[in-house]
Structure formats: structure tokens, C-alpha cells
Structure 1
């Protein structure tokens, strides 16, 4: 059986799960702060990642894969850049709407294409490049506000947070794909899940140490808010499981471009949970995103 196009449904599942996780983390920032809300994604997601790996091994996925030095280097680099990206994302969400912040972050596909070529040698077809440009243009259109070109209402700080978060998310995607490819042996599911366990383990250790040293109050509150944190952790691990499956099957640029459907999911969440309406300009931006995604799928 071939799994060549399985990255498509895997990416769609990951995008939907990530939207749910981001919405939950956004609500947690009010009580835990940005670092505390970031930490619950990893702390509460780590046990679920171990469970996922146990299920894969029990289902006949092979033996546990031993890490190499290169694998650990990729994992640590991906872990740190993803932590920084998550903190900046939540900081931006405190100042701009959920949907528009997601749009800022989704400048990521252009960045991930460049980083993927530079770090891993991942190449793209001309049609795929066009798809990335069209979809990203839709993201930029959604992010711009009336008067922003004259310097009015641009919101430079949240915009900067969002774009830099997108860069760090792009780098983390490249590093995690590098880790998955470095394992070499085993099924794509086993390699993906092994990478997930190691990455969440490293991230949990880093943030637990940081908060124990600099923000014990938020660490204590994260344990007190275990019910919503548990859901955020599960959705984070579940989303990452499918992101990594996508990375194991195709370039990170392909996965992250298709993942722009998350902007559409975020818009729906904004309307239902946060009472944030959609403007005609944002609707046009979403149409471009959909057009770019369709073009990407046509290219495959």
C-alpha cells in the first residue's frame, strides 16, 4: 500500500487539532501568562506522546528507534524554536484577534520553503511555489488593516510577534523533518512518533526548569488549571503527531502551505467563541488562501 498522498489528510487533521489547541491556550494566557500557557502544551502533551508511541509499538510498528547525535541535534533545535514560536504567538494573540494573529503566523510557508531548501535541500515545483505565493498573499491581505500603509492602526508589535513566530515555526518544522529523516529505519509512523516523544520531552524539561527558576507562581497555577490544560496538551500532542506524519512523507513547505486552511478554521473559531466578525477584505484573503491550497493539491 502506498502512502504517498497520506500527508494531505494528515495535515488537515493536524490543522483542525491545532486550531482547537490554540483557542484553548489563548484562554489560558489570562491566568497563566504567555510562558505558562505555552508550557501546558508540552507538559500535558508529553504523556500522550508516550501513549501514542506505545500504541504504535503494540500495533506492530517495530522496535524503539535509538537516537543518533544528529537526530538529537535536530530535535533540540526544533524544540527550542517551537517554544519561542509558541510564546510569541500567544503574546500576539493578547493584542490582536485570534484569526488575524493566525494570519500573521501563516507567512510561515514562504519562510519554510526557503529554510527547507537551505537546510535539507527540499526543492519545490514551479506550481508549488506559485501556490505558496498565492496563499501567502491571502494571509497578508487578511493581516493588513485599513490605513496600515499610512502607518495607521498597523499594530507593529503584534505584527512583529506574529511574523517572527512564523519564522520560528518554520525553522522548527525544518528541524523536526530533519530529525524524522535522520532516523532512517522503521515505518514513517514510528519515526514520526519517536520524534514527537523526544521533542515534547525536551520541551517539557526546558520549560519546567525555566518556570521553576523564574515564574513559580505560573507553574503552580498550571497545575491548578489541570483540566483545561489537559485538553490543550492532548490536542497539542495529537496535532503534532499528524504534523510529523506529514513531514515524514513530503517537504515541510508542502505541509505548511496546505496547513493554511487553519486560517479558515481560526476564522470560524473567532466568530463562534470570541465574537469577532469577518470583514470583506478578510474574506477576499481567505479566498486567496483557498485558491493557493487548491493549486498546491493540483500540483500533486
Structure 2
């Protein structure tokens, strides 16, 4: 496999690791609450990222790239927008409209493509644009419950959902921008260096935030350190693969292929939760697979 296609298995590995992380975080929510479970991906993921950077440096004998001002700007932008995106997602889901929020959040690949074109100059051909739209429509179709309209839950979930998707998109663009702004190093070294800085920044922000405003959740996450380590490891593993993907191709390609995570989650629900797949969900799956297939066919 040539390097130009390496992003495909890397992105699939990221989606699989993220599915596992989400399942672990879901279990943690029951014991330490939503905010506590959310921040463990950063707090407990950071040490694993540092270990990964050490392993890359030792294995390949590369020096760690020196950050520049543009790199630090992109890292800070990516780190803060990802936190904001998560906060907006949680706020929207408090409106008791999970399916609607998910549908609007999954407009992220479309927004990633637009932001990538505007901010980084990432190419966007008509074929790739069509692939992104088809796959995104598939996710929206799968996310909607039968009989529920996209506007049936009011305006707030719509605004929060789209805004959350926008901030997740900006986070992806910020992290890709940071990787590209490093002047030296292989794609693996630049991706891992960026991951360490990103998780370190997010850990610092959240420690200060929770220390001042929600010490109960912070202390609960410390007490539940054993299961939190698992969530942190899977979170760091997923992020490592995402960042490698961002180093190899456009964020739009990575985040569109990443929609297969929805299919993985559906498979987990069907296998372990005995949930029946509806015709609407099957139609959505066909669109996702069609969009992803078209995206891969557009690669040269």
C-alpha cells in the first residue's frame, strides 16, 4: 500500500477505537456523571500520548519538532473548539432530542470540507463534495426516529447541533493546520507531537475549569481512575489515528470516511443490545456506504 492510501486503514482504526472509547465513557457516565466522563478522555489520555511520542522518537531516532507560533495558534484553536463542541453537544442533548442533535452534529463532514477549503486551501472536487453530501445524508437518515421531523424538537437543538458540528469541524481543521505548520519531521512524528500538545492543552484547560467550577466531577474522575484509564487509552489511541489521518490527507476525507463509525455503533447495538434495524436505518446505511465508496473511488 502506498503512503497516499495509508489514511484509509488509519481512519478505520480511529473509528473503531473511538467506538470503544464511547462505550467505555457511556459506562463511566453512570458513576461519575456526564462532565466527569467527558474529561477523562483528555486527562487520562494525555500520559498515553506522551508515551507514544517517546516511542516514536526512540523507534525512529527522530528529534521532536520545535513548535512555532502558527503551530501553537492552531493547537489552541483545535483544543478549545473541541471542548466547546463537546459542551454544545451535551447542552443540546439535555433538550431530550438525542436523535435530532446527532443528525445535525453529523453535518460535520460538510462543514469540515468548507472550512478546510477556506482556511487551509484543501482541495474539494465536485466528486468528493457529492460523496460527502451523500454519506452525510445517510447519517442524518439513520439518526432520525420514525415520525420525528428535523424541526420537531424546536429551535435550540437545531442551533446547538449545527454549532456543535461546526466546532468539531473547526477542531479537525485546527489540528490538521497544526500538523502541517510544523517545519520538520515525518508525518508520524508531526501527528504525535501535535497530539501531545493538543491533549496537554485540553487537560490544563479542563483541570482549571473543573477545579474552579465543578470539583465534585473532578474528584469523582480521580476516584474512578481504573476504568478511566481504559477510556483515556482508547481516546488517545483514536486521536493518534485521527491525527495520522490528518497528516496524510484532508480533514474532509478523514471525517467523511469516519462516518463508518455510525455503522460500527449500529452493529454493536444490534449484536449486544438486540436492537432491530429498521428500513430507514438500512436506507441510511446504503447512503453512507455509497458516499464512502464514491469518496474512495475519487482518490488517486
Q: What is the TM-score when the length of structure 2 is the normalising length? A: 0.92
Are 1:186 and 2:178 counterparts? no
Q: In the TM superposition, what whole-angstrom CA distance separates every residue of 1:151-186 from its partner, at most 9, and x where no partner exists?
A: 54x476555544332211111000000000000311
Superposition RMSD in Å: 2.2
Q: Any unmatched runs of 5+ in structure 2? A: none
Q: 1:96 to 1:274 in 2, by over 3 A?
A: farther
CA gap 1:279/1:158 in 2 versus in 1, 3 angstroms: farther
Q: Conserved in 2, the CA contact under 8 Å of 1:38 and 1:83?
A: no
- Are 1:221 and 2:191 an aligned pair? no
Shift of 1:278: 2.7
CA distance in 1, matches of 2:100, 2:150: 19
Q: Which region of structure 1 is more displaced relative to structure 2, 142-151 or 118-127?
A: 142-151
Number of residues of Structure 1 aligned to a counterpart in Structure 2: 298
- For 1:60-79, what aligned pairs fall within 5 Å after superposition? 60-79=60-79
For residues 64-87 of structure 1, the C-alpha deviation after alignment (integer angstroms, 9 at most, x for no partner) is 111101100100110011112233
After superposition, residues 145-294 of structure 1 pair within 5 angstroms as 145-149=145-149, 152=152, 154=153, 158=157, 160-274=159-273, 276-294=275-293
CA spacing shift, 1:216–1:275, aligned 2, 3 Å: farther
Provide the C-alpha distance between the structure 2 equivalents of 1:279 and 1:175, rounded to a whole number of angstroms.
37
Residues 128 and 7 of structure 1: CA distance in aligned 2, closer, same or farther (over 3 Å):
same
Q: For residue 267 of structure 1, report the CA deviation from its aligned partner.
A: 1.1
Deviation at 1:277, TM superposition (A): 3.7
Query: SS state of the match for residue 148, structure 1?
Result: coil
SS in 1 for 2:205: helix
Contact 2:116 2:122 in 1 (8 A): yes
Are 1:102 and 1:263, in contact at CA under 8 Å, matched by a contact in 2? no
Q: Does structure 1 retain, via aligned residues, the 8 Å contact 2:109–2:132? A: yes
Q: How does 1:36-75 map to 2 (within 5 A)?
A: 36-75=36-75
Q: Which residue of 2 aligns with 1:84?
A: 84
**Superposition TM-score, scaled by structure 1 size:** 0.92
- Which residues of structure 1 form unaligned runs of 5+? none
Q: Give the match for residue 139 of structure 1.
A: 139
Asked whether the 8 Å contact 1:116–1:252 carries over to 2, the reply is yes
